[in-house]
Amino acid sequence: MKEEPLPQIYLVRDVNLAEFAYKLHIFAGDFLGESEFNLRSFATNTSLDSIAIMGKRHMWLSDAVLAYCPTTEQYRMAVTTEYLGARAFLFHAERTEDGRLFGDVLMMDLDTLRQEIEKNTLYPYGVSMVYRDGTKAEVGIEKWEAMELCEKDALKNWRYLYAPERTEEWEQYYSNRFSQWKEQAFYYMEQDLEERLNMEYMLEAQNPDTDMYRIPLGAAKQILLNGDGPVYRLLPGGAEELAPVTAITTGLWYMEYREFAVTPENLGGVDRLVRRETDRLTGRIPRPKERPDRKHEKEGKCCPRPER
């Protein structure tokens, strides 16, 4: 495997977007704590574009336009993250197949996206308010910012207002910019990019094993509990396979060396976990014929996925 630095922009074409997003939460680091919020946000996004901001310990995924609005958490994370290795993933939906979204993903360093955000920020012109008695009103930004906190707390709800023409201009800008980035991006296969990101995650382990794929504790526990395949604990003397019962007896909360991995031959187990969780979080109920094939349990092994 070549070890040259990642190019500034990567392109992955025609992937299952929800599954790719979930894999980022387990292959690029331990972001499982935010996977439920992020995947549910992705599922409820009404536009074709989403953006995920990945820092050292946190990831935030939402509608792409929110990254350009200074009133959102997505924007604040994008412009304030100081971690030099921070990245941005831009998702664009192209088609739906059997209830699942497919499209392209761009990966770039966060600073590249941050420069675009700062030059094309969408500012609100006012705030729409609803009082507890049902009365509605609108105020300008200056008046809103001058209001006391107790006045805002007394509201039933409120939201920022953006000029429709400015939003339309932004949508056109973003569509053109995404196309430009795609043209200059370096194309990568989905599996190869996952492998490269996971290598960085693996090398951060106390006892790395570069012949394996590192996964977070939460993923390791789910794979064992569901019988999706073998899981290994990364120890100073080498990787040690865990008995499935340890997920119940210990919860994998060892005093030390709480780092886990799977072999390339058993990535099929990770795929089953990813499909199961994305279907659950996005609200998709699998058909009977799609339900997990547990034949590998009877055989005592996990059906291997094609070698990467």
- Does residue 192 carry a pLDDT above 90? yes
With CA atoms as reference, report the closest residue to 1 among 239, 184, 191, 185.
Answer: 191
Ordered strands of the 9-16 beta sheet? 59-63, 49-54, 87-97, 100-109, 9-16, 186-187
CB 231 within 8 A of CB 241: yes
pLDDT digit string, tens, across residues 253-264: 787 888 999 999
Q: How is the chain split into domains, by residue range?
A: 9-120+165-191, 126-161, 205-299
CA distance 116 to 165: 19
Where helices occur in 81-187 by DSSP H, the ranges are 110-119, 141-146, 149-153, 164-184
pLDDT digit string, tens, across residues 19-40: 999 999 999 999 999 999 999 9
CB 88 within 8 A of CB 71: no
CB 260 within 8 A of CB 252: yes
Q: What percent of the chain has pLDDT over 90?
A: 77
CB 50 within 8 A of CB 94: no
CA distance 92 to 97: 15
pLDDT for residue 286: 55
pLDDT for residue 296: 38
- Does residue 158 carry a pLDDT above 60? yes
pLDDT for residue 111: 93
pLDDT for residue 305: 38
pLDDT for residue 7: 53
pTM over 0.75: yes
CA distance 228 to 164: 49
User: Tokens for 282?
Assistant: 């996005």
